[in-house]
Amino acid sequence: MQAAQVTVTTTAGNLRKDLGVLVGFDAQWGAGVRLNPVSDLKIIGTLNAQDFADVTYPLSISLHTLDLSGVTAIVANSSSPAGKLPDNACYQWKAMTAITLPTGGVIDSIGKQVFNDCNLLTSINIPDGVSVIRDYAFSNTGFTTFTLPSSITTLGTGVFMQSKSLAQVTLSNNLTAIPDATFMQTKLSSINIPASVTTIGNTAFYATPLTTITIPSTVQWLGGFKTFSNCESLATINLPAGIQVIDGKLNSTFDYTQINSFTIPSNVTILTNGVFAHTPLASLTFPANNLVTTLGSACLAITKLTSLVIPEGVTSFGEGVLYGNATLQTLELPASLTTIGGTALSGCTGLQSIKVHSTFPVNLSSATGVFDGINKTTCILYVPAGSKADYQAADGWKDFTNIVEFTTTGIENVQKNNASLAIAGNPVQGNEAKLTFAEAGEGAVVRVSDLSGKTLIKQVVATGSTTATLSVTSLSKGVYLVNYTDNTGKRGIVKMVK
């Protein structure tokens, strides 16, 4: 049966009846009854949400064009307010290629999934006066270009997601945010972000062919989850100074891109899940006031880093954190590091030196393959003065043939292997060193050594005591190391100055 071109005049709630009369059916449209196919439909009058629901089944199959230019009002009903193109209004109308929306303030918002899965839809006018486009409204449509009028201030989640032909978008200069998944898996290779935007959400540009992107200085918040992941041509990301990452977590944000340098925003605390994995990253800069505590699984795996200094404050290395970095030559680990996961440095075949600032070796007894592929004969392991013997006896670390001690200056607490034990700052007061411990240990011994590791003072701590006072009269002015050990395995160290 040949599809028809139809013009129908109706009032809100009556479209089903009025359209049915025109194409040969009564108001009841009994079970299994199908309309004669309609290819092109123009509606004049008023509509509500129920009207779209009533005609979805027949029109979603045959309709090519929908002209709403003669609609004078979208009337409220129990499910949708006045002025809103209702949620799911044309959801999965698979044959539709073009729609004309009414102008003159008839529509102020476009609801959720209104055109979702309208795969062939390539033409629409968004009238001035529309301020909101809600979640997935144009997801998986056929548009190649799209222009948002200046009246648009708000987009919902995934508005253009998986519109795989969408290559060019002009954004409203009053848009306040690019929400989660907005352009995910589209064909965008470039975009101009207006100065009105303050937030870019998670997965906003996931798997697009962007080559470069500049984030304006007005953007204050950047989503950290897969925001640019799998943008395989993206080589340059220009972030404004002071930008913050939502939740302080970079999670798979830039993996499988072409990014080669990056400065971590100041509020970031966690890098995880391959955030820079499989990139040519050659330079990574931590902020001066570093807040990063965790480098999670594979976050720097298979990059082009040649040298890396992990700042103080980082406590955890996840599994495979630097896996497969064959170009890495030098690595410096902070005293704060307490945990290293399996295969953390596996495949770092070019590593020439590791400098560790922790006086006590991180326990690797449960971590497998941490140093697999590293030449432990030629790679030098640098450790703090007085700690060589501990590293030579520790699982994993003892495999290095060349362990060299280095000296440091200044006063700083050095990481201990039990967080419940604390030795207070610089303990020297005159000719005495007053030490305080977080808890009492059994068989506790305090040793004071010079920076070469030579023990100068040894004193047993009274059982059950959380304090000790040492006479340092015999010591010359200078920097010393104070070590605490007890029979339960607790250890602590602090530098002191006399």
Three-state DSSP class for 400? coil
Ramachandran angles phi, psi of 56, nearest 5°: -60, -50
What are the tens digits of pLDDT across the range 388-414?
A: 999 999 999 999 999 999 875 433 344
H or E stretch at 480: strand 479-485
Of 79, 20, 8, the residue nearest 46 (C-alpha):
8
Q: Which residues are within 8 A (CB) of 288 and not within 5 positions of it... i.e. 6 or more apart? A: none
Question: For residue 480, what are its two tokens?
Answer: 């010393």
Residues 153-180 as b or e (16 or more Cβ within 10 Å = b): bebbbbbbbbbeebbebebbebbbbbbb
Cα 296 to Cα 319: distance, rounded to the nearest angstrom: 7
Question: For residue 237, what are its two tokens?
Answer: 């990301």
Q: Are 469 and 432 in contact (CB under 8 A)?
A: yes
Q: Are 311 and 286 in contact (CB under 8 A)?
A: yes
Q: How far is CA 410 from CA 243, 407, 482, in A?
A: 33, 10, 13
Q: Which residues are within 8 A (CB) of 30 and not within 5 positions of it... i.e. 6 or more apart? A: none
Cβ atoms within 10 Å of 458's Cβ, excluding its own: 12
Cα 192 to Cα 183: distance, rounded to the nearest angstrom: 13
Cα 204 to Cα 169: distance, rounded to the nearest angstrom: 14
Cβ atoms within 10 Å of 457's Cβ, excluding its own: 16
Cα 233 to Cα 139: distance, rounded to the nearest angstrom: 23
Question: For residue 130, what are its two tokens?
Answer: 């529309």
H or E stretch at 17: helix 15-22
CA dihedral 384, 389, 393, 397 (to 10 degrees): 30
Question: For residue 325, what are its two tokens?
Answer: 């970095």
Q: Are 27 and 36 in contact (CB under 8 A)?
A: no
Residue indicated by tokens 């848009």: 175
CATH classification of 1-130 is 3.40.50.970, yes or no? no
DSSP structural state of residue 24 = T
Cα 375 to Cα 357: distance, rounded to the nearest angstrom: 21
Residue indicated by tokens 């602090």: 494
Domain boundaries, the chain: 1-130, 413-497
Question: For residue 160, what are its two tokens?
Answer: 């253009």
Q: Can you point out the beta strands (E) in 77-143?
A: 84-85, 98-100, 109-110, 123-124, 132-133
Ramachandran angles phi, psi of 374, nearest 5°: -85, 135
With 0-12 / 13-18 / 19 or more C-beta atoms within 10 angstroms meaning exposed / middle / buried, residue 405 is: middle
400, HSE (Cβ side, Cα atoms, 13 Å) = 28
Question: For residue 391, what are its two tokens?
Answer: 């590293």
What are the tens digits of pLDDT across the range 316-350?
A: 999 999 999 999 999 999 988 999 999 999 999 99
Cα 272 to Cα 229: distance, rounded to the nearest angstrom: 13
Tell me how far the alpha carbon of residue 137 is from its chain's centroid: 25
pLDDT one digit per residue (tens) for the chain, 498 residues = 455 789 999 999 999 889 887 776 544 454 444 556 789 999 999 999 999 998 887 788 889 999 999 999 999 999 999 999 999 999 999 999 999 999 999 999 999 999 999 999 999 999 999 999 999 999 999 999 999 999 999 999 999 999 999 999 999 999 999 999 999 999 999 999 999 999 999 999 999 999 999 999 999 999 999 999 999 999 999 999 899 999 999 999 999 999 999 999 999 999 999 999 999 999 999 998 899 999 999 999 999 999 999 998 899 999 999 999 999 999 999 988 999 999 999 999 999 999 999 888 999 999 999 999 999 999 999 999 889 999 999 999 999 999 999 875 433 344 333 333 455 556 777 888 887 776 666 667 787 877 666 778 888 888 778 788 889 888 887 777 777 776 665 666 677 777
Q: Which residues are within 8 A (CB) of 176 and not within 5 positions of it... i.e. 6 or more apart? A: 153, 154, 196, 197, 198, 199
Cα 117 to Cα 91: distance, rounded to the nearest angstrom: 6
Q: What is the CATH number of domain 413-497?
A: 2.60.40.1220
Provide the pLDDT for residue 435: 79
Terminal C-alpha separation, the chain: 100
